[in-house]
Amino acid sequence: MEARDIIFSIVMIVSSFVLTYKWMSRFSSSNYAADAVVVLSAMVLIGSLAAMILSVDMRMRRIESMLEAKERALRINILSVEENLDRKLNVVLNKTNNTAEEMSRRMYR
């Protein structure tokens, strides 16, 4: 989690406080207890939303790093299989060439 993410979360919570407080003070009566509950509820709601977004971001980064590791391992395995096939094909090709040369020598005798 980066500092930028934490700062954005704090900004979300503070802006929800300011927005809700201003909104409630403009349109409500003088019932301050209800105003405080509404403002606090809005702050908790935005705080939990920010935590959920950060949690999803962390999970996606973890999945991305796992996929990169699997991709690297797959690439290495493909390279080793390719090298192994090259070696085996070279052996078969050499045997085939030797057999063809031997047969051409026998034909010219």
- pLDDT tens digits for range 12-42: 888 888 888 888 777 766 666 667 788 888 8
For 77, phi and psi rounded to 5 degrees?
A: -65, -40
Using one digit for the tens of pLDDT, what is the confidence trace for 3-19? 888 888 888 888 888 88
| 0.85 exceeded by pTM | no
What's the pLDDT band for 71 if we cut at 50, 70, 90?
A: very high
Do the Cβ atoms of 89 and 97 come closer than 8 Å? no
Only one residue has tokens 């040369």, namely 101
